[in-house]
Amino acid sequence: MAKVFVVDNPYDADVKLFKVNDPYEADLYFYVTKDSYEAQGDEIWFFTDNQYDATVKVFWASESYDADIRVYKVNEKYEAKWNKGNPFVARLG
């Protein structure tokens, strides 16, 4: 389950993300849930304010080339999936 904690420093992050506007540029399509129990796999995220509850610490990169994963937020849970191969598959949740 992907319980996500956002850090301010890239050196504190497990993974660096960049949010793209074009879904075809994304490595991962993610969905954000409001309930922690719904978070699952790499694709369905719950953002937590407690870093000790998190399964992954992320940093939002300002440039695509600084990111490990390019992500695109989807509106429906069934749309969330890996779009391209990536070394971080199965490492967020």
What gap in Å lies between CA 93 and CA 51, rounded to an integer?
14
Q: What residues does each domain of the chain span?
A: 2-80
Residue 45 main-chain phi, psi, to 5 deg: -105, 145
Angle at the Cα of 44 from the Cα atoms of 40 and 46, rounded to 5 degrees: 90
Interacting residues of 78 by C-beta distance below 8 A, sequence separation 6+: none
pLDDT band at 92 (very low <50, low <70, confident <90, very high): confident
Model confidence pLDDT, tens digit, residues 60-85? 999 999 999 999 999 999 999 999 88
CA-derived radius of gyration, the chain: 12
Q: Measured between alpha carbons, how far is 90 from 93 in angstroms, rounded to an integer?
A: 7
What mean pLDDT do residues 49-61 have? Answer: 97
